[in-house]
Amino acid sequence: MHPSLLQDAGCPKEIPHNEKLLSLKYESLDYDNSENQLFLEEERRMSFLGFKCLEISRWVICGLIGFLTGLIACCIDIAVENLAGVKYFVVKQNIEKFTEVGGLSISLILWAVLNAAFVMVGAVIVAFFEPGAAGSGIPQIKCYLNGVKIPRVVRLKTLVVKVCGVICSVAGGLAVGKEGPMIHSGAVVAAGVSQGRSTSLKKDFKIFEYFRRDTEKRDFVSAGAAAGVSAAFGAPVGGVLFSLEEGASFWNQMLTWRIFFASMISTFTLNFFLSIYNKKPGDLSSPGLINFGRFESDVSFLDFSTLLLVNHGAILKCVCVCVLRYVHQPCLQVMEAMLVAAVTATVSFAMIYFSNDCQPLGPDQSEDYPLQLFCADGEYNSMATAFFNTPERSVRSLFHNPPGSYNPLTLSLFTLTYFFLACWTYGLTVSAGVFIPSLLIGAAWGRLFGILLASITPDGSIWADPGKYALIGAAAQLGGIVRMTLSLTVIMVEATGNVTYGLPIMLVLLTAKIVGDYFVEGLYDIHIKLQSVPFLHLEAPATSHWLTAREVMSAPVTCFNRIEKVGTIVDVLSNTSTNHNGFPVVVPVAVCGLILRSQLIVLLKHKVFVELARSRLTQRKLQLKDFRDAYPRFPPIQSIHISQDERECMMDLTEFMNPTPYTVPQETSLPRVFKLFRALGLRHLVVVDSENRVVGLVTRKDLARYHLGKHGLEEMQLAQT
Rounded CA-CA distance 136/428 in Å is 11
Task: Please check the confidence at residue 327 and state whether its pLDDT lies above 70.
Answer: no
Count of CB atoms within 10 A of residue 430's CB? 33
Kindly report, residue by residue over 416-454, the tens digit of the pLDDT.
999 999 988 988 889 988 899 999 999 999 999 888 888
Task: Please check the confidence at residue 695 and state whether its pLDDT lies above 50.
Answer: yes
Q: What is the DSSP string of 303-334?
A: -GGG------HHHHHHHHHHHHHH--SHHHHH
C-alpha dihedral sign at 205, 211, 215, 217: negative
Task: Please check the confidence at residue 613 and state whether its pLDDT lies above 80.
Answer: no
Alpha helices in 17-137 (DSSP H): 37-45, 48-101, 104-124
Q: What's the confidence (pLDDT) of residue 283?
A: 40
3-state per-residue secondary structure call for 199-228: CCCCEECCCCHHHCCHHHHHHHHHHHHHHH
Q: Report CA-CA distances (Å) from 80 to 425, 632, 667, 688.
A: 18, 34, 58, 58
Task: Please check the confidence at residue 363 and state whether its pLDDT lies above 70.
Answer: no
Query: Span 47-76, mean pLDDT?
Result: 94
For the chain, the average pLDDT equals 85
Query: Span 684-692, mean pLDDT?
Result: 93
C-alpha dihedral sign at 558, 562, 563, 566: positive
Q: What's the confidence (pLDDT) of residue 258?
A: 94
Q: Contact 132/408 with Cβ under 8 angstroms?
A: no
Task: Please check the confidence at residue 317 and state whether its pLDDT lies above 80.
Answer: no
Rounded CA-CA distance 310/442 in Å is 8
Alpha helices in 366-522 (DSSP H): 382-387, 391-400, 408-425, 435-456, 466-482, 486-496, 502-519
- Cα torsion through 71, 72, 78, 82, rounded to 10: 150
* Backbone φ/ψ region at 604: left (φ over 0), alpha (ψ -120 to 50), beta: alpha
Look at 39-43, 441-445, 609-613 and tell me which has the smallest mean pLDDT: 609-613
Q: What's the confidence (pLDDT) of residue 289?
A: 60
Reported confidence tier of residue 614, pLDDT bands at 50, 70, 90: low
Task: Please check the confidence at residue 565 and state whether its pLDDT lies above 90.
Answer: yes
- Determine which helix (DSSP H) or strand (DSSP E) holds 268, and give its type and residue range: helix 253-277
Contacts of residue 377, defined as CB under 8 A and 6 or more positions apart, other chains included, come to none
Residue of higher predicted confidence among 341 and 454: 341
Reported confidence tier of residue 7, pLDDT bands at 50, 70, 90: very low
Query: Span 340-354, mean pLDDT?
Result: 93
Task: Please check the confidence at residue 509 and state whether its pLDDT lies above 70.
Answer: yes
Q: Report CA-CA distances (Å) from 541 to 139, 334, 704.
A: 21, 41, 10
Residue 409 main-chain phi, psi, to 5 deg: -65, -40
Q: Contact 553/566 with Cβ under 8 angstroms?
A: no
Residue of higher predicted confidence among 297 and 586: 586
Task: Please check the confidence at residue 308 and state whether its pLDDT lies above 50.
Answer: no
Number of H helices, E strands in the chain: 27, 18
Rounded CA-CA distance 391/408 in Å is 20
Q: What's the confidence (pLDDT) of residue 281?
A: 38
User: With pLDDT > 90 as the criterion, what percentage of the chain qualifies?
Assistant: 46
Residue of higher predicted confidence among 447 and 290: 447
Q: What's the confidence (pLDDT) of residue 618?
A: 47
Residue of higher predicted confidence among 305 and 221: 221
Reported confidence tier of residue 364, pLDDT bands at 50, 70, 90: low
Query: Span 240-262, mean pLDDT?
Result: 86
Residue of higher predicted confidence among 475 and 14: 475
Query: Span 79-94, mean pLDDT?
Result: 91
Task: Please check the confidence at residue 372 and state whether its pLDDT lies above 80.
Answer: no
Query: Span 88-117, mean pLDDT?
Result: 89
Reported confidence tier of residue 296, pLDDT bands at 50, 70, 90: low
Q: Which of the residue ranges 62-76, 504-518, 618-632 has the most confident prediction, judged by mean pLDDT?
A: 62-76
Strand 685-688 and strand 663-665: pairing?
parallel
Domains of the chain with CATH codes: 42-277 (1.10.3080.10), 301-327+355-530 (1.10.3080.10), 538-719 (3.10.580.10)
Contacts of residue 359, defined as CB under 8 A and 6 or more positions apart, other chains included, come to 365, 379, 380, 382, 404, 405, 406
Look at 238-242, 279-283, 477-481, 685-689 and tell me which has the smallest mean pLDDT: 279-283
Reported confidence tier of residue 3, pLDDT bands at 50, 70, 90: very low
Task: Please check the confidence at residue 98 and state whether its pLDDT lies above 90.
Answer: no
Reported confidence tier of residue 19, pLDDT bands at 50, 70, 90: low
Burial class of residue 201 (count of CB atoms within 10 Å of its CB; 0-12, 13-18, 19+): exposed
User: With pLDDT > 70 as the criterion, what percentage of the chain qualifies?
Assistant: 87
Query: Span 383-403, mean pLDDT?
Result: 87
Task: Please check the confidence at residue 623 and state whether its pLDDT lies above 90.
Answer: no
Reported confidence tier of residue 300, pLDDT bands at 50, 70, 90: very low
